[in-house]
Copies of this chain bind each other. A is one copy, B any other.
Amino acid sequence: MANNVLNKELGPIVQKTMADVVEIRLREYLKEKSFKPGDPLPKELEIAQSLGVSRNVVREALSRLRMLGMVETKKKRGMVLSRPDILSSFERVLDPLIIGESTLQDIFEIRLTLEVGLADLLYLRKTKKDVEELEQIARNQKVTSGRQTFRIKNEIAFHGKIYQMTGNETLQRFQNMLLPVFGYLVSLEKVPIIGKVSHLDLVEILKHGSKEEFRQGMLQHLEHHFAKLK
């Protein structure tokens, strides 16, 4: 069975550790057998014997699944499959200092894409209270503008609030994770660029304008970012 792992197309050879191999094999096994959250896993020793590897290696592989939130240990029941938090491992690696220039750029473009695309969810779910809070953030911004660190903080607060207003928790958490990346990119700008459409303008549209007007407003607000693409 472990041969499955080896029978891939001819690509660059990446040396796998035993823990890599066992981890992959375990995930395949859980998938093949259609394990669902709550289902009990075989014991460490059983896995080691059936794969013909040491218990230490199995422990290492299980520890990885535990980190991903795919496995948890229950009192008296032992290890069971659990519902992973799909973003937690993503969060672990998203550090602008280590992910590299081209991925940073990709992520920035994904942010632009999401902000232009989210008008539909926003208009479906925004409340009067949300819009008032957003307006408050936009007003604070005017007062404190000038200092770079304040500016980034407010920029993040404003756009973060918009994501929250979409009512999509995964989207909101995804955005929260991307914040260090945006903060990093904004900090590289020497001169703060203010778009033709300001945060307060966007709030006005949310109050009295249509979904399409909001989308066009957001496009203009982000115009200087789009202008730099490619």
Count of residues in A whose CB is under 8 Å from the partner chain:
66
Given contacts A59-B60, A64-B67, A98-B84, contact A117 B112 (CB under 8 A): yes
Given known A37-B98, A95-B31, contact A120–B226 (CB-CB < 8 A): yes
- A68 adjacent to B89 (CB under 8 Å): yes
- Give the docked Cα–Cα distance between A110 and B111 (Å): 12
Interface centre among A66, A69, A90 (most CB of B within 10 A): A90
A221 CB to nearest B CB, Å: 13
Name the prevailing secondary structure of the A interface residues: helix
- Which of A27, A102, A119, A120 is packed against the most chain B CB atoms within 10 Å? A120
- Indicate whether A106 sits within 8 Å of B169 (C-beta atoms), given known contacts A93-B89, A94-B86, A112-B117: yes
Q: Is A113 within 8 A of B117, CB to CB?
A: yes
Q: Does A97 contact B (CB under 8 A)?
A: yes
A139 close to chain B: CB less than 8 A: no
Of A15-23, A144-152, A187-195, A197-205, the one touching chain B: A15-23
Question: A49: CB under 8 A from chain B?
Answer: no
